[in-house]
Amino acid sequence: MKVLVPVKRVIDYNVRPRVKADQSGVDLANVKMAMNPFDEISIEEAVRMKEKGLATEIVVVSIGPAQAQETIRVGLAMGADRGILVQTDAAVEPLAVAKILAKIVESEQPGLVIAGKQAIDDDSNATGQMLAALLGWPQGTFASAVAKDGETLKVTREIDGGLQTLALQLPAVVTTDLRLNEPRFASLPNIMKAKKKPIDVKSPADYGVDIEPRLSVVKVAEPKKREAGEKVADVDALIAKLKSVGAI
């Protein structure tokens, strides 16, 4: 079974984003970039499936600028076999990403697509669901456990009432949650091997997908700074204070 894993190049989660002076977006100049953390979990799950003999090939796909090749190389160093970069410097919205991925799925014919549930830059949490709808495939979102049983994939999800287990008929789309696994660190030998693994460079036009934005950003602003707290002498004073601000 071939597994397709989409990955995204985002600001490193340890970096505090800066808003541009004109509030048109986030400043990416001289900022450390990395793979989206949820996508690392997706690659780890695909590699584990391959180690168990459940997957035969892992293809990593990224849609973004030329520098996204570095992100793909990280996935290759973790254990993926080859990569596809759909190169564009434009910002690509989730629907356009899903349409491009759908075209890649048509050409690659994977048995499973494993994607991160969301990207930490836009928090859209929409690409996996849109892709499943376009393909007409079953989907298991927010996966905290995945187990293959023949042509069925059992996906455990965390919901408000506890755990929900779905049985998906393959091929299917799965989006990963934080508790699914702990991604491995790429070893130096694997990093060196990843440099020799192939990456095909394509463009959105190669797949006939219009990536023109359907949304416009009105303004991006930093959150308001938290006000300092206030100490109270005892429980009675705390209750009185909460009543005065309308909290109780």
Q: What is the pLDDT of residues 216-245, one digit of tens each?
A: 889 988 888 888 888 888 999 999 888 887
Residue 222: what pLDDT? 85
Secondary structure (H, E, C), the chain = CEEEEEECEEECCCCCCEECCCCCCEECCCCCEEECHHHHHHHHHHHHHHHCCCCCEEEEEEEECCCHHHHHHHHHHHCCCEEEEEECCCCCCHHHHHHHHHHHHHHHCCCEEEEECCCCCCCCCCHHHHHHHHHCCCEEEEEEEEEEECCEEEEEEEECCEEEEEEEECCEEEEECHHHCCCCCCCHHHHHHHCCCCEEEECHHHHCCCCCCCCCCCCCCCCCCCCCCCCCCCHHHHHHHHHHCCCC
Whether residue 24 has pLDDT greater than 80: yes
Instruction: Return the CATH superfamily for domain 2-221.
Output: HUPs (3.40.50.620)
Residue 106: what pLDDT? 96
The predicted model scores a pTM of: 0.86
Whether residue 31 has pLDDT greater than 80: yes
Domain assignments of the chain as residue spans, ordered by start: 2-221
Higher pLDDT, 161 or 7: 7
The model's confidence at residue 29, banded by pLDDT at 50, 70 and 90, is confident
Residue 25 structure tokens: 């977006």
Residue 245: what pLDDT? 78
Task: Taking residues 6-13, report their average pLDDT.
Answer: 95
Task: Taking residues 28-41, report their average pLDDT.
Answer: 93
| Cα angle 79-87-174, degrees, rounded to a multiple of 5 | 50
Give the largest CA-CA distance in the chain. Answer: 69
Residue 100: what pLDDT? 97
The model's confidence at residue 54, banded by pLDDT at 50, 70 and 90, is very high
